[in-house]
Amino acid sequence: MAAKKHILLPEAVSGTIDIRCSFHSLIGLLVAALVVGAIYLTAESGYLVREEDEGHKLIGATNDTTTTSGCDLFAGKWVYDNESYPLYKDKECSFMSDQLACAKFGRKDLDYQHWRWQPHQCDLPRFNATALLERLRNKRLVFVGDSLNRGQWVSMVCLLDKAIPPHLKYMHNNGSSLITFKAKEYNAKIEFYWAPLLVESNSDDPVLHRLPERIVRAQAIEKHARHWTDADILVFNTYLWWRRPQMDVLWGTFNSSDGIYKKVDMLRSYELALKTWADWLEIHVNRSKTQLFFMSMSPTHERAEEWGQPEGGNCYTETEMIKEVGYRGKGTDPKMMRMVEATIDDLERRGLNVQMINITQLSEYRKEGHPSIYRKQWEPLTQEQLADPLGYADCVHWCLPGVPDVWNELLYAYIFNHTQN
């Protein structure tokens, strides 16, 4: 049965109303009802709502759990909320990444930190760090993928960080692809593993991976997967590193001279890699223990003409989100996500459940949420580069606090509804 549509009420209406049998009270109730109706219609007509524009306070979710059945958590609107968001302060997060700390590197407009996602027919649960740590007691939560998944992992660490005393947490990076954040009191590990193409590739070094030619061993995943085998929750992504017409696919090993290289259409090579990933999951995942997630495409905002701005621009100087309902730019590839969905459907037929966390559409609107020029640069910028900020603006990754925190709120909702105790 579908969940009832949740109507957002002003505090004066949502509280207990003392109904007095008087003419003035009846008139007051009628006026209040008309105001609520107007507010509701305004909120439902688009995907962008500001509290001050509406003239009332929107009531957010306060429950620690929600039911995802009968409610599409991914269909909703962004609501401006500068009272309860951001969920943490960037300066207070012990493990914030300089590539994502936009305010630290000079960004002054901070409205991007104050938006929450409101599904149409239900509420997202309020993120409760202590509750999640308790759920993760003696367990491993591992994010596997590229730098966007790493950004989501940093977001998760920051969301949990404030609930853990300094002497009861640590970060460990032994120089390999695996980075571990541990909450010692809970014996809980929240980890990130660098595998941008999921399968083995020539881009597997966590630092030296910026190679012009991508080579994948589309049928080899064991090198990476042995690091995930005993994880309790796995969160995968792979998308942007495949964005080229063709990929070099290697049959053989990188250390062998008799390997066979062949250029393969990107979608076909992506399909081969997903099959390898799925086959590994089917054979190796403990179905009574491990919960599996796949993050959908994170959109880029590198072409301002796609949202009606002059050609040649990008997310640089953008301070407002896109207001066109259903907007979809060209920074995503629906064919790739349909391939992921088909792979997940096939796994379900084989008795293994992978939940797709659909962040794509809700993130499409957030062109102002990227670091742009406000981040630590990998290498010092030249005078020529500094003179052309459009050329080095990062319109791929996301500022923190920001959009990835909402991705983790969605993940949190599914963990609390589907994780086995």
CA distance readout (Å), 88 to 55, 189, 299, 368: 26, 20, 24, 19
d(CA 70, CA 121): 9
- 3-state helix, strand and coil shares in percent for the chain, rounded to the nearest 5: 35, 15, 50
Phi, psi of 163 (to 5 degrees): -90, 0
Active-site position among 90, 123, 232, 394: 394
Work out whether strand 246-251 and strand 260-265 pair parallel, antiparallel, or are unpaired: antiparallel
Active-site position among 97, 147, 298, 363: 147
- Reference 394, options 361, 369, 359; nearest CA is 369
Phi, psi of 217 (to 5 degrees): -95, 85
d(CA 103, CA 101): 6
Tell me which DSSP letter residue 21 carries.
S
Dihedral sign computed on CA atoms, order 114, 117, 123, 125: negative
Q: Is 394 a catalytic residue?
A: yes
Residues 6+ apart with CB under 8 A from 186: 133, 134, 136, 137, 138
Long-range contacts of 2-8, Cβ-Cβ distance < 8 Å, separation of 24 or more: 2/70, 2/71, 2/121, 3/67, 3/70, 3/71, 3/121, 3/122, 4/121, 5/120, 5/121, 6/119, 6/120, 6/121, 6/122, 6/123, 7/36, 7/40, 8/39, 8/40, 8/43, 8/58, 8/59, 8/118
d(CA 132, CA 135): 5
- Residue 96 and residue 105 in contact, taking contact as beta carbons nearer than 8 Å: no
- Reference 195, options 231, 228, 238, 226; nearest CA is 238
Q: Which two tokens stand for residue 149?
A: 């998944």
Q: At what angle do helices 147-161 and 403-418 cross, to 10 degrees?
A: 80
Q: Is 397 a catalytic residue?
A: yes
Q: Is 230 a catalytic residue?
A: no
Spell out the alpha helix ranges (H) of 117-263: 129-135, 147-161, 222-225
Phi, psi of 173 (to 5 degrees): -135, 110
- Residue 126 and residue 132 in contact, taking contact as beta carbons nearer than 8 Å: no
Active-site position among 114, 224, 301, 397: 397
Burial class of residue 149, CB neighbours in 10 A (0-12, 13-18, 19+) = buried
Residues known to be catalytic = 147, 394, 397
